[in-house]
Structure 1
Amino acid sequence: MANIDYYFATLSPYTYLAGTRLEEIAAKHDATINYKPLDIMALFGRTGGTPPKDRHISRVEYRAQELLRQSKNLGMEFNLQPAHWPTNAAPSSYAIIAAVQDGSGNVGKLVHSFVRACWAEEKDIAQDDVIRECLSQAGFDPGLADSGLLVGAETYAANLEEAVDRGVFGSPFYITEDGQRFWGQDRLADLDHYLTEING
């Protein structure tokens, strides 16, 4: 069985635009997904990236055009300037980490619930009521929002260190068990093709 390490940020619009395609690809190839939320702003600082607010205007304008094009092509509702962005990504990330350990619901659905809440539903994913709602929608006990905060914080930090060590520099980022790296939701088709090739 193949394994895919999935590094992502719940604040990333590109994680939202990935939808649930990774989960569909994993199911197609009988692969498991290791969900690894991380602090994208810290990752930028560690790997030579620049936070959106500090980028040259040419990059800011291109990003805006590209996000709107991609969301339209994918048929996904999208707000280029959501009311609650940026916000604190840690609480939603801790909830995902707790959900992975719990294992009773659908982690992929949970991740998408968070990013959809931010980029399409005008919700603040740092707020407890939003976190509980997303957990419930994905089949988890909303009480997970209150559990494992220390473990969540430790894992969140460890995911960042691991990502830096493994050459991750953006979100979403996918690494196969043989070390092939795929950056961006627009590389999911390449990941699919690669898994088809290695699985014969």
Structure 2
Amino acid sequence: MPHIDYYFATISPYAYLAGGRLEEIASKQGATITYKPLDIMALFARTGGTSPKDRHPSRQEYRAQDMIYQSKMLDMPLNLAPAYFPTNMAPSSYAIIAAQAAGGGDLGALTQSILRACWVEERDVAQDEVIRACLEAAGFDPALADTGLLAGAETYARNLEEAVSAGVFGSPFYITDGDVRFWGQDRLTYLDRHLAGAL
């Protein structure tokens, strides 16, 4: 059975724009997914990237234009300047890590709910009540927001180290068996074809 390691940040607009396509591809191709939320700002610092706010104005302008085009192409609403961006990614990441360990709900739905809260719903995904609502909506016990914090912190830090070692430098980033890597939601078609043996 093929496997996908999915590296992403819970405040990444491009992870939001991936929607549920990763899960659809995995289902179609019989693949499993390990969700690996990480600190994208720390990843940038480790791999030669820069925070969006620190990029040259021309890069910032192009990023905004690209986000508009992609959201329109995908028919997904997107607020270019959400009220709570950037925010602390750790609490929402810990919740995803705890939910993955606990099982019983829909991890893809949880991830998208958190991303949508930031990029569409003007909610702060660092806040406990937002995380609890996302957990519950995806079929998980909202109390997971309060459990396994030490394990969540350890896994969150480990995800960053694994990402750097694996050649990850952005979000979303997908790595399949054999160290085949795909960066960006606009490469999900490539991932699909790779898993199908057509690429």
TM-score range relative to shorter protein: over 0.9
Matches within 5 A, 1:162-173: 162-173=162-173
1:161 aligned counterpart, secondary structure: helix
Aligned to 1:29: 29
Q: CA RMSD in A?
A: 0.9
Unpaired runs of 5+ residues, structure 2, are none
CA distance in 2 between counterparts of 1:77 and 1:52 reads 20
Q: How many residues align?
A: 199
Superposition map of 1:52-67 within 5 A: 52-67=52-67
Which whole-Å CA distance do the structure 1 matches of 2:142 and 2:169 have between them? Answer: 31
Partner Cα separation in structure 2 for residue 106 and residue 182 of structure 1: 23
- Name the counterpart of 1:7: 7
Percent identity over the alignment is: 69
Moved over 4 A (4+): none
* Structure 1 equivalent of residue 114 of structure 2: 114
Cα deviation, 1:103-137, whole Å, max 9, x if unaligned, reads 11001110000000000000000001000000000
* Unaligned ranges ≥5, structure 1: none
Which residue number in structure 2 is paired with residue 77 of structure 1? 77
Distance 1:19 1:153 in 2: 26
Encode CA deviations 1:127-169: one digit per residue, 9 max, x unaligned: 0100000000000000000000000000000000000000000
Distance 2:63 2:46 in 1: 21
> Separation in 1 of the partners of 2:85 and 2:40?
13
Describe how 1:176-191 pairs up with structure 2 within 5 A: 176-191=176-191
> 1:150, 1:43 → 2: CA distance?
21
Match of 2:158 in 1: 158
Task: Name the aligned partner's letter for residue 119 of structure 2.
Answer: W
